[in-house]
Chains A and B, each alone.
Chain A
Amino acid sequence: MQNFIDAYSAINLRYLFEGLWITTEVSVVSIFFSFIIGTLMGVARYVNIKYFSAIIGFIIDLIRNLPLLLILFFTYFALPNIGVRLAVIPASIVAMTVFESAMLAEIIRSGINAVPVGQMEAARSNGLTYVQAMTVVILPQAFKAMIPALVSQFISLVKDTSLATIILLPELTYHAQIIYGQNVNYTIPMFVALAVLYFVFNYALSLISRVIDRRMSRTRA
């Protein structure tokens, strides 16, 4: 018990929360870029332009089928080999963004697929161009329906940032490791803290997404 009290000293807790802040920062920045790139790729795959869509689709499949850890290693350790040298935080963000963009592209494509074809036809017959119909009519409806999937993807991104410990990104897991590296007695308290912090953070996110989804479905009905 004493171990727990000592381990959760003000300094250590502050250090953990600093880690959580880096975790949040990297996740939010990555999801922001992934959302933009993922939407572009998802639409590109959906519209079915000969060759172009197939190539984009193949790239998406390639990335989705690789371990994130490998992509992380690649951006941080392999790219310097061909002259591209990234610092830890940018490297983490780039790796996460590459991986998440592919994941989001698939979610977005299936979200667009779920919008009834009639919506596009009606929008076009009202005189909107294809691009207008897509951005004003189809995508907003698709995004609404995708909120739960997007949030759960964001949750897995938050969890995945812990992998960047291996390139020494100073996020939550890494900070916890530093603390218990200094004092073996703090090992269990630190793992408990990690589990609690990640759980609370992610579970809160999923609760929020449930509330939003319920509101949305009420307005849809």
Chain B
Amino acid sequence: MFTILFDHASELFSGLGYTLGASFIALIGSLVLGTLFALMEIGQHKWVRVIGRAYVEVVRNIPLLVITMGFYVIVPMFIVQVDGFTAGTIGLTIYTSAFIAETIRSGIQSVSSGQMEGARSVGLTYYQAMFHIIFPQAIKIVIPPLGNQFINLVKNSSILAFVAGFDLMYQGKIIANSTFNTFDTYLAVGLLYLIVTMPLSYLMRFLEKKWKTA
């Protein structure tokens, strides 16, 4: 395993770089999209709520692979060529945004409704109350599950291997094919994934416990 790890260090670490890059971009993108759809889901107009809900339910129930491949295969037919990395990252963003929307929605709803009523009754508008009163309280509740979503993102970014996205999994596949040493290669790839995901998952578990008692 270590010979593979050392001999192919440059490919593996560049793969890890792409994996982390895709995960970060997708995290930021899906945070924006997810917050938007979470706000829609608890919005004041019925149709806005319906659209938000529909988006989340539809995206959550379709495999990431179908979303990503759909993007990778269909978009070039009409609009513009997309490379694997872009298609993969966009697929990840869309998929994860539905889960993040759910996380944020339940975080916001777990802030007691008296907070909103109190804020509104001292004269804040709905949006002021949302941003100054509700969000800051919801963030603590939401951070551990968001961290877990990021871990999922790192794992799910292996989907890039399907669309030639140069990520860790893709590099692993190439190394395995050239050295025929599949066993050691995939062990090495697994080790690199774990180096990223394990500490994060322990950190999130720690935060969850710490903030629950606070």
Contacts and interface: CB of A to CB of B under 8 A. Distances in A.
Interface of A: 61-62, 64-70, 73-74, 77-82, 155, 159-160, 162-163, 165-166, 173, 177, 180, 184, 187-188, 191, 194-195, 198-199, 201-203, 206
Contacts of A187: 73-74, 77
Which 10 pairs, one residue from A and one from B, show the smallest C-beta to C-beta distance? A202-B61, A65-B197, A81-B183, A67-B158, A159-B63, A162-B63, A67-B155, A69-B158, A78-B182, A78-B183
B80 interface: no
B193 A70 contact: yes
B101 interface: no
B176 A65 contact: no
Interface of B: 57-58, 60-66, 69-70, 73-74, 77, 151, 155-159, 161-162, 169, 172-173, 176, 181-183, 185-187, 189-190, 193-194, 197-198, 201-202
B112 to A, nearest CB: 22
A31 to B, nearest CB: 16
Contacts of A155: 61
B3 to A, nearest CB: 14
Given A61-B201, A70-B158, A199-B58, A173 B65 contact: yes
11 contacts: A62-B198, A67-B156, A67-B193, A70-B158, A77-B182, A80-B182, A163-B63, A173-B66, A187-B77, A194-B62, A202-B61
Given A81-B181, A173-B66, A74 B190 contact: yes
A198 B155 contact: no
Contacts of B185: 78
Contacts of A68: 155
A13 B155 CA distance: 33
Contact of B162 (A79, A166, A198, A203): A166
Nearest to A65: B197
Contact of B193 (A65, A191, A202, A203): A65
A73 B186 contact: yes
A165 B155 contact: no
A77 B174 CA distance: 12
Contacts of B201: 61, 64-65
A128 to B, nearest CB: 31
A128 B77 CA distance: 67
B180 to A, nearest CB: 8
A191 B91 CA distance: 14
B186 A198 contact: no
Contact of B57 (A67, A159, A165, A203): A203
A67 B77 CA distance: 30
Given A64-B201, A65-B194, A67-B156, A74 B66 contact: no
Given A65-B194, A191-B73, A70 B62 contact: no
B63 A160 contact: yes
Given A61-B198, A61-B201, A68-B155, A159 B62 contact: yes
A99 to B, nearest CB: 10
A70 B63 contact: no
Contacts of A203: 57, 61
A173 B63 contact: yes
B21 to A, nearest CB: 16
Contacts of B155: 65-68
A165 B158 CA distance: 14
A191 B63 CA distance: 11
A80 B176 CA distance: 13
B86 to A, nearest CB: 18
Nearest to B159: A69
A163 B65 contact: yes
A197 to B, nearest CB: 9
A198 B182 contact: no
